[in-house]
Every structure is written in C-alpha cells, then in structure tokens.
A and B are shown apart, each in its own frame.
Chain A
C-alpha cells in the first residue's frame, strides 16, 4: 500500500510567483494536514482538511490556501512568494482528524521549495 505521496519533490520559484503543491494521502485516509518546516526548526501547522472541509488553520497569511478534493487528495497554494517561504512543506494523512490521539500521523517525504 502506497504511503503519503507529495509532488513535486523539489521546486524553485521566483519572488512574487505562485506555487501549487500536491499531496495524495494513504488510501482510505480522509484527513490531510499541511506543515511548513523552515531549515533548522520544527514543522509548523498550516492547515487541516477533513471530508473537503477546512478544520483548522495555523498562523499563516492569506497568501496560503488549500483545498481537498473528492478523492481526498489535497493541494496547497502559496501566492506572491517571499524569500521566507523557502521551506520543506510536509503533508500528513490520517483516517480521521483525531487519529493522532491514538496512532500519530503518517507524513510524506515533503516538497522542498526554494524561493529566489
């Protein structure tokens, strides 16, 4: 069974551009969460989606948006990129949002975004 898959693995964008990152959860998992990890720091929560509805949002500007599709895959969009958006973007999936109470999350390998 495939794990959480993210694409692309690496991406280089110019300041001011827009980027879309993609995540496919484990088959059967309905909840997807997005995290940003700046070099040298721990991951920070951006969004959580469950059944195509936003369940939680972290302290990120409106330039960050996301959505979840009927097949439970998800996209994270970042507009008007800044140098500070350079980071590893991680996607995590779970069957239910509260699975982390018992099992923890399964993470993908991430997308490394570099803004120049």
Chain B
C-alpha cells in the first residue's frame, strides 16, 4: 500500500517559475526522502530530511517537514526544462521505503 499521497498529481509550469509539490503520509517516520524519476526509468535520490528537521536545502531544492501534520513539501526554484520528471516522496519503515503516488512535473521552455 502507498504510504504517501502527493499533491498535485500533475503540474505544468514555465521555465523560471517555481514548482511546489506536497506529500502527506500516514505513520510515524525516521526520515522522509524525495526521489525523481525520468520517463519511467530509475529513481534518483534528491534529498533526505530527518524527523527532527523542519527544513533542508540542496541547490535549487527546498524541503520542509511538518511531523505534526504528517506532511512535507518540495520546492524547486527557477525550474528548467530538464526538471521535467515525476517526483516521489518516500518514508522509511523498518528498512523499506514506502512511496507515494507521485507528482508529474512538466516544465515548458
């Protein structure tokens, strides 16, 4: 079963705009991770935020975590056409990752 639900399911923006996608999960977590997937191929790990952290940055990525609301958000600033992909949040449950349903991001040049 899916642990997380991403919102929105799909997002279309222009290059240079910011993209925000949200993730809600159901149970207590050790950490929450975000992955990117291009064209149905392998997943690429983007960023990991621990349960005791509230915000984390990596390049153009900003992740927030609200454990009281069991939610996280991923912000991609100044988006590029190359950011077009599906983005998944994943929570760690006893050594296995539980993925959400994903957000499909389309960035138009």
Instruction: Choose one: B43, B90, B94; the contact of A56 (CB below 8 Å).
Output: B94
Known: A42-B102, A90-B42. A48 touches B96 (CB 8 A): yes
CA distance A74 to B4 in the complex (A): 28
- Measured as residues with beta carbon below 8 angstroms from the partner, the interface class of chain A is 20 to 34
| A2 within 8 A of partner (CB) | no
Chain B: which residue is nearest A104 at the CB level?
B45
The distance from the CB of B6 to the nearest CB of chain A, in whole angstroms, is 8
By a CB distance below 8 angstroms, the chain B residues around A59 are: 1
Answer whether A43 and B99 are a contact pair too, CB < 8 Å, given A90-B42, A107-B42.
yes
Name the B residues within 8 Å of A65 (CB-CB): none
Contact (Cβ within 8 A) B96 A58:
yes
Q: Which residues of B contact A107 (CB under 8 A)?
A: 35, 42-45
How many angstroms from the CA of A44 to the CA of B90 in the assembled complex?
A: 10
Interface hits, B1-43 → A, CB 8 Å: 1-2, 4, 30-31, 33, 35, 40-43
Give how many A-B residue pairs fall within 8 Å (CB-CB). Answer: 74
Dominant secondary structure at the A interface: mixed
- A104 touching B48, Cβ below 8 Å: yes
Question: In the bound complex, do residue A44 and residue B99 qualify as a contact, i.e. CB atoms below 8 Å apart?
Answer: yes
Top 8 nearest A-B pairs by Cβ distance? A42-B99, A104-B45, A109-B42, A107-B43, A45-B96, A107-B42, A97-B95, A43-B99
* 19 A-B pairs in the complex with CB atoms less than 8 angstroms apart: A42-B2, A42-B4, A42-B100, A45-B96, A48-B95, A48-B96, A88-B40, A92-B43, A92-B97, A100-B31, A101-B30, A104-B45, A104-B48, A105-B43, A107-B43, A107-B44, A108-B42, A110-B40, A110-B41
- Apart from A33-B96, A35-B99, A90-B42: 7 A-B pairs, beta carbons within 8 A: A33-B97, A37-B40, A42-B88, A42-B100, A100-B33, A104-B48, A108-B42
B residues adjacent to A (C-beta < 8 A):
1-2, 4, 30-31, 33, 35, 40-45, 48, 88, 90, 92, 94-102
Binding site for B on A (CB under 8 A): 4, 33, 35, 37, 39, 41-45, 48, 55-56, 58-59, 88, 90, 92, 97-98, 100-110, 112
